[in-house]
Amino acid sequence: MNWYYAAGGRQQGPVDDAQLDAMLQSGQINQDTLLWRDGMANWQPLRQARPSADAPPFVAPAADARASAGVGEIVCAECGKIFSKDNAIQYGTAWVCAACKPIFLQKLREGAALGGALQSTTGTYVDPETLIAQATSRECSVDIGSCIGRAWGLLKENFWVLVGATFVVQMCQGAAGAIPILGYCVGPVLQGPLMGGLYLLNLKLKRKEGGEFGDAFSGFSNFVQLMLASVVTTAITYLFFIPAGICFFMYTESKNEGMMIATGVMALLAFPVAAYLTVSWLFTFLLMVDKKLTFWTAMNVSRKVINKCWWGMLGLMIVVSLLQLVGFLAFCIGIFVSMPLIFGSIVYAYDDIFRREE
């Protein structure tokens, strides 16, 4: 029987059963590696496609070390030392300290340590390449009407929580941006944690996980990463407009009409690139608060997955932008209703692509 497997975000193979078993034992693949063969409707993790396949054993810490750990303490499965649970991550029944985490996760990616699911606050750890392969192996499309319709239903069910949280967050962003001179820097710095919190609130409410008003500010618990996501995406996007800015500055100094024309041309050339990146990075904050990815990894995963349905996501952004405009025209009050609708629509599109409905 010939199998195909996903590695590095690409299809590999074919290989037969014996080769597949050898690759599993050597650590080239693991139980989360996606497999496909003729007759299968979709790609499936190895643990589901071939449930009889044996995984490399997971080595637990020594019994005497476990016995010496106190209440609220764990024994690191890598180094065998004792740490508090607040300074460790859980992998199935095993725990790993912060210092050993990079080594441990690398072993997971290589298939050298298996046996459970790495728990995070809102979901389960998934290797980025596996996450991309899973999301792109099935149909990747955006139902604009459905996303907006379900977001409207979510808003009606949780009206005051979503509207109140959005209002407070927007006021915080507005106040930060209004600071003379510093506002240009403070705005992007605070935008990441605030947007991450709002996305998490919508995600929890959507998944019936008990979202609360305070979740809108939970992004500050991961301040540095979410701040970097905001600052880096903004900086890279505006980077392409620098030539237009230089031409405009030269125009203001020389009043040369040629420089004004050059400004328009440079801006027109930069706009498609900026639009592509803005749409491609729409899931960055969601991937960070849901999958606990770092900002750069989340940016790459978002871009690679949205590339499969970029036009659909662009259409969704155009429609929700029109909704935002309508909300602004409604005496600026409607924006506090249209904004939760926008966040909700993006959340539903995200979950449609990354997480199948149960």
On whether both 74 and 194 belong to a single domain, the answer is no
User: What type of residue sits at position 128?
Assistant: P
On whether both 69 and 153 belong to a single domain, the answer is no
- Is 127 within a domain? no
Q: In the numeric block, which tokens belong to residue 124? A: 């389960």
* φ and ψ of 215, to 5 deg: -65, -25
- Is 69 within a domain? yes
Q: In the numeric block, which tokens belong to residue 298? A: 């989340």
- Is 267 within a domain? yes
On whether both 98 and 170 belong to a single domain, the answer is no
Relative to beta strand 34-36, strand 44-45 is antiparallel
Within the chain, strands assigned E span: 3-7, 10-15, 34-36, 44-45, 73-75, 82-84, 88-91, 94-97
- Is 58 within a domain? no
Closest CA to 30 of 98, 103, 121, 106: 106
Q: What is the pLDDT of residues 104-140, one digit of tens each?
A: 666 555 444 333 333 343 444 456 777 787 777 767 7
On whether both 220 and 289 belong to a single domain, the answer is yes
Q: What is the pLDDT of residues 12-22, one digit of tens each?
A: 778 888 788 77
Max CA pair span of the chain: 80
- Is 138 within a domain? no
Domain interval for residue 101? 63-119
81 contacts: CB under 8 Å, gap ≥ 6: 75, 97
Number of structural domains the chain divides into: 3
* pLDDT by position in tens, the chain (length 358): 788 888 766 677 788 887 887 777 767 787 778 888 877 767 788 878 887 655 444 444 444 454 455 667 777 776 767 788 777 776 555 677 877 777 666 655 544 433 333 334 344 445 677 778 777 776 778 999 999 999 999 999 999 999 999 989 888 888 877 777 776 777 788 899 999 999 999 999 998 888 899 999 999 999 999 999 999 999 999 999 999 999 999 988 888 888 899 999 999 999 999 999 999 999 999 999 988 888 999 999 999 999 999 999 999 999 988 887 877 776 666 677 788 999 999 999 999 888 654 3
